[in-house]
């Protein structure tokens, strides 16, 4: 698992303990069970529990929290609250709104108006004073390298690209006009509008020897990491959404889109204009034909085509039958 220091990217705005949170957000919190008072400075996910953190739990997942870890759980599920599994837990029936308020109160982030960065200007490129760029890396003109970013050895970032909230490995080649590390498209449909965007406090991690073409967008994760595996080749005009895990040696052709929280194994070959629905799993060594719409999990070593994507032999037979029946 990729690890990172959240405060490198999202500085703490307010220092507050669990007991103070109960007082400050008393209007939104219906009931509480608190055994420990500790300072909050991080966020946990189900896959990555962190000490002194918040964990937003919408339903009763089977997680075990080390007794020595200080984690404050916030839930809108009374079954979770009443389960007696957790020693520090708050219940709110206004869960999403409370989550957003808490994160906005605890952290500076780029979707809040009080977020600030400090830059040095080199070749018309703005590089944050809080970023680390290896001396062997090359950054082109009119680009932005934001707070906390790390750019590895021999990496090339060409012109007019924005790199924020990202760690870029060694020997990576990023083309012109890319946007990497921006906010994911995550929000509650009951809370529409820009002011109700769900804060994303994760990052993008691009591993070694990756090539990214031009005009691509890669969104940062909500809490953890959007990951691009080693030796992957990404063509122009590709969108990769928040929380995506892309395995090593992937090859993705132009005008493709991968929705949020998709997990893809190693050695993917994906044809142009392919689309992937969110929250699905794609196995190792999968081939996806051009213009396919992948809507469900795909097992290892599969070849799929069409919309919805099905086994490529089945798809070819379907096309043959349609032509026989007079379909064009």
Q: pLDDT tens for residues 77-98?
A: 888 888 878 888 888 888 788 8
Residue 101: how many other CB atoms lie within 10 Å: 15
Q: What is the DSSP letter of 160?
A: T
Average pLDDT of the segment spanning 191-211: 89
Q: Chain-wide mean pLDDT for the chain? A: 92
Query: In order of start, what are the domains of the chain with their CATH numbers?
Result: 6-106 (3.40.1390), 119-243 (2.160.10.10)
Q: pLDDT tens for residues 274-283?
A: 999 999 999 9
Q: pLDDT tens for residues 107-116?
A: 999 988 899 8
pLDDT-derived band at 27, boundaries 50, 70, 90: low
Cis bond before residue 308 (omega within 30° of 0): yes
Three-state DSSP class for 68? coil
Comparing 232 with 65, the larger pLDDT belongs to 232
DSSP symbols for 164-184: -SEEE-SS-EE-SS-EEEEPP
Query: What pTM, to 2 d.p., does this model score?
Result: 0.94
Average pLDDT of the segment spanning 64-87: 84
Please tell me which residue in 109, 242, 279, 327 is annotated as part of the active site. 242
Least confident piece of the model among 56-70, 75-89, 243-257, 273-287: 56-70
Comparing 30 with 48, the larger pLDDT belongs to 48
Instruction: Round to whole Å and give the CA distance between 284 and 304.
Output: 13
Average pLDDT of the segment spanning 130-141: 97
Per cent of the chain over pLDDT 90 is 69
Is-catalytic flag, 279?
no
What's the half-sphere exposure (Cβ side, CA atoms, 13 Å) at 136? Answer: 9
């Amino acid at each position: 698992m990729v690890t990172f220091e959240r405060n490198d990217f999202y500085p703490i705005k307010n220092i507050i303990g669990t007991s103070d949170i109960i007082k400050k957000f008393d209007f939104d919190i219906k009931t509480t069970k608190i055994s420990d008072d500790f300072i909050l400075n991080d966020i946990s996910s189900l896959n990555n529990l962190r000490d002194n953190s918040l964990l937003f739990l919408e339903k009763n997942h089977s997680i075990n929290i080390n007794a020595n870890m200080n984690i404050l759980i916030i839930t809108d599920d009374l079954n979770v609250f009443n389960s007696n599994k957790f020693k520090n837990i708050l219940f709110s029936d206004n869960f999403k709104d409370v989550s957003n308020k808490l994160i906005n109160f605890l952290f500076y982030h780029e979707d809040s108006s009080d977020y600030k960065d400090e830059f040095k200007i080199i070749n018309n490129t703005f590089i944050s004073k809080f970023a680390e760029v290896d001396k062997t890396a090359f950054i082109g003109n009119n680009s932005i390298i934001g707070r906390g970013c790390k750019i590895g050895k021999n990496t090339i970032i060409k012109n007019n690209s924005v790199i924020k909230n990202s760690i870029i490995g060694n020997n990576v080649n990023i083309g012109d006009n890319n946007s990497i590390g921006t906010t994911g498209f995550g929000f509650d449909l009951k809370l529409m509008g820009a002011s109700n965007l769900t804060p994303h406090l994760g990052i993008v991690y691009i591993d070694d020897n990756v090539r990214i073409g031009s005009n691509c967008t890669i969104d940062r994760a909500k809490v953890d990491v959007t990951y691009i595996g080693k030796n992957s080749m990404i063509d122009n005009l590709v969108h990769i959404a928040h929380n995506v895990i892309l395995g090593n040696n992937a090859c993705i052709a132009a005008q493709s889109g991968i929705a949020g929280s998709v997990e893809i194994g190693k050695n993917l070959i994906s044809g142009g204009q392919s689309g992937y629905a969110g929250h699905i799993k794609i196995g190792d060594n999968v081939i996806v034909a051009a213009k396919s719409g992948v809507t469900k999990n795909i097992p290892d070593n599969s070849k799929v085509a069409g919309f919805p994507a099905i086994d490529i032999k089945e798809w070819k037979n379907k096309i043959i039958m349609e032509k026989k029946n007079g379909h064009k």
